[in-house]
Amino acid sequence: MTDGKNPIYIWVNEERYEKLKELGLDKHTEERLAGMKVLTVYATNEEADRLVKEFGAKHDTSTTGSIELLPPYLKDKIFDKVVEKKSLEVVSDVLKEV
Amino acid sequence: MAEIGHGGKEIKERIMKPDEAKEKIKGLAQVPINKQIANEIIDISYGWFTPLEGFMNKKQVDSVVKDMKLPDGTLWPIPIMLDLSDKEIADYGVENGKSVVLTYQGNPMALLEVEDIFEVDRTEMCQSVFGTTEEKHPGCHRIYNCKDKFVGGKITLLKEPTINEPFGPYFLPPLKMREVIKERGWDRSVAHQTRNIPHTGHEWLMKGAFFQTHNDLPVEKPNVGVVVNAIIGEKRVKDYIDEAIILCQNELQNAGYFGPHNHLTSLTFWDMRYAGPKEAIFHAILRVNLGITHHMFGRDHAGVGDYYGGYEAHHLLESVRDQLDITPVYSMNWLYCPVCAEITSEGLCNHKDQQQKFSGTLIRSIVTDGVKPPRLIIRPEVFDRAMESANKYGAQNSPFVNEEYLETRTPVFDIEPL
């Protein structure tokens, strides 16, 4: 996996989508099922290691390279930080605050 | 009037009166059993396993393994066996012709009249039942890890189990279930086998089966019911917790997507063997005994990994239809189509390149994150109930089984002292 390209998938329902739309970030979402969208932010390898070690996440290195099973509160925090910073570059900020 | 179950045999509960039980077990050896065996004692005693009256003897097991039949010719696909170690047999004095008390949670649960102590060819059994001898198949793993010997004999329940909250209302043994079906006035009923919380794909599987079952019946009055029969048994990490399964299934009725006139939630205690086609037949037998007239079978029913073809269970069911007093209802997958803008069947919609299929992994990911999805994926009431169940019954507020849940959960049932 290329450094900095470990995806974290954040589920986006209608309520969240409206927020992203207001910020012009809706273009970064991708529809998965019946209007449920997903927003992808990326962690560096170092951040991915920390997420696995400190938050019980699993790094799916064999297929998608994605970071799975993050605690819901942490995913909520990542989404809130995207909205706050109006940017997808948020993982390092979130990790500084938790 | 007698209630007739599988194989044309009458369903008779094998449950002793409390005073008689105390008297009967005096002086008998007490043999502890595990949860799987306790589940199966309940199934035998209340008639889920009719015509079985106890754990199988060698003649029955051999017949099931070789011919998928009991010695009297009744269709039966999976051996029902009680395993004990050589040490237990010696220590507790388990012998042919003697009775012993089987205890669960330290309390007397059932009387076993020992008829036979025997060994089996486990490899042959696995090949016959599971179509493989691989240890990694969970059914084979279970057989290979049984204790040294098997003990056959009739079972009588000494004390009815206490079904713990929230499962009580859903414990409907065969005779009770048949009463409820009569009270509801259903001429036909269709069983939905599940171990999931329902998304709308599941909901439409049930709705489709409702229409398939209704077929030529008059429509003036409600006369078809969907009987959700959740399998409650051994849990594995990442399964949905039992409480969420049963409460979320029932929420479809509470929230009006079904109603009491056409929907009933219930449970059966059983550790899945993942025997695919043969387990499909076994599930059909359970539901025959529950008095259900039809049974849904989807793709790869009760399968695991890639051991069975998608429709292998359907083919085996067709080959024994004349021996099963239940009508199979074969279900196609339901999916979301953004062009149709609805949940639709793969057998109906022709927007093949636009269809969005339900995936268990995707749904689990959404539920894990606790982000409420559109009502076209999971009904909001069902999602709320899942989150509520997670907070109330789950470990670390998770709707999924984890190690902590396995260690700390309240048992589904208890056996109290006599």
User: What are B240-252's pLDDT values in tens digits?
Assistant: 999 999 999 999 9
Q: Is B345 helix (H, G, I), strand (E, B) or coil?
A: strand
- Tracing tokens 């022709």 back to the chain, one arrives at B350
Q: Show which of B160, B189, B209 is a domain's final residue.
A: B160
B372 CB near a chain A CB, below 8 Å? yes
- B74 and B195 share one domain: no
pLDDT at A65: 78
Q: Are A14 and B374 a contacting pair at CB < 8 A?
A: yes
Cα–Cα distance for residue pair B194/B68, rounded to 1 Å: 24
Give the C-alpha distances (Å, rounded to integers) separating B20 from B89, B142, B241.
Answer: 26, 35, 37
Same domain, B202 and B144: no
> Are residues B151 and B294 part of one domain?
no
One domain, residues B206 and B323: yes
Q: What is the dihedral of CA A53, A54, A58, A63, to 10 degrees?
A: -70
Residue B149: pLDDT band with limits 50, 70, 90: very high
Q: How wide is the angle at C-alpha A70 spanned by C-alphas B243 and B250, nearest 5°?
A: 20
d(CA B176, CA A6): 54
> Exposed e or buried b for every residue in B288-300, given b needs 16+ CB within 10 A?
bbbbbbbbbbbeb
Nearest to A1 by CA among A45, A52, A54: A45
CATH of the domain at B333: 3.40.50.620
Domain final residue pick, B140, B160, B180:
B160
Interface test with A, best of B335, B363, B369, B372 (most A CBs within 10 A): B369
| Main-chain phi, psi angles of B141, to 5 degrees | -55, -40
B356 touching A, CB under 8 A?
A: yes
Domain of B88 in residue numbering reads as 6-160
Dihedral angle sign, alpha carbons of residues B151, B152, B153, B157: positive
Average pLDDT estimate for B275-288? 98
Model's pTM, two decimal places?
0.93
Q: Is B103 helix (H, G, I), strand (E, B) or coil?
A: strand
**pLDDT for the residue numbered B364:** 87
Q: In which band, very low, low, confident or very high, does the pLDDT at A79 lie, cut at 50, 70 and 90?
A: very high
Q: Which of B343, B370, B376 sits opposite A35 (nearest CB)?
A: B376
Say yes or no to pLDDT of A64 above 80. no
Which amino acid would we find at residue B186? W
Residue B1 lies in a domain: no
The residue whose two tokens read 């198949």 is B137
Partner A, chain B 161-200, Cβ-Cβ below 8 Å: 200
Q: How far apart are CA B125 and CA B295, in angstroms?
A: 27
B349 and B376, same domain (yes or no)? yes
ipTM for this prediction: 0.81
What residue ranges do the domains of chain A occupy?
A: 6-97
d(CA B85, CA B218): 57
- Which structure tokens are listed for B292? 């259900």
Whether residue A62 has pLDDT greater than 90: no
In this structure, the answer to whether residues B112 and B25 fall within a common structural domain is: yes
How high is the pLDDT of residue A3? Answer: 59
Output DSSP code: residue B69.
B
Say whether both B244 and B101 belong to one domain.
no
- CB nearest to B374's CB, from A9, A34, A68: A34
Say how far apart CA B105 and CA B33 lie, in whole Å. 8
Q: What is the CATH number of the domain that holds B40?
A: 3.10.400.10
Residue B371 and residue A12: Cβ atoms within 8 Å? yes
A86, pLDDT greater than 60: yes
CB contacts under 8 A, B 331-350 vs A, are 336, 338, 343
Could you tell me which of B418, B396, B409, B416 has the C-alpha nearest to residue B165? B409
Same domain, yes or no: B253 and B360: yes
A33–B362: do the CB atoms touch at under 8 Å? yes
Pairwise CA distance, residues A42 & B209, whole Å: 43
Out of B369, B370, B377, closest to residue A33 by CB? B377
Identify which of B368, B372, B377 has the shortest CB distance to residue A34: B377
The pLDDT value given to residue A4:
62
Kindly report, residue by residue over B324-378, the tens digit of the pLDDT. Answer: 999 999 999 999 999 999 999 999 999 999 999 988 878 888 898 888 999 999 9
CA distance B37 to chain A (A): 34
Q: State yes or no: pLDDT of B178 exceeds 80.
A: yes
Please determine, for residue B45, whether its predicted confidence score (pLDDT) is greater than 70.
yes
User: Which residues of chain A have a CB within 8 Å of the CB of B343?
Assistant: 34
Q: What is the pLDDT of residue B360?
A: 82
* pLDDT value, residue B1: 82
Name the residue in chain B with its Cα closest to that of A32.
B356
Tally of domains in chain B: 2
Same domain, B124 and B198: no
Q: How far apart are CA B95 and CA B141, in angstroms?
A: 28
Q: Which of B27, B158, B44 is nearest to B92 (CA)?
A: B27
Same domain, B339 and B273: yes
Question: How many residues are present in chain A?
Answer: 98
Q: Sign of the CA dihedral B313, B318, B321, B327?
A: positive
Distance CA A12, CA A41 (A): 12
Are residues B141 and B79 located together in one domain of the fold?
Answer: yes
Which pLDDT score, from 0 to 100, does residue A1 have? 40
Q: Is B300 left (phi over 0), alpha (psi -120 to 50) or beta?
A: left
Say yes or no: B136 and B219 in one domain. Answer: no
Q: Which residue of B368, B371, B376 is in closest CB contact with A34?
A: B376
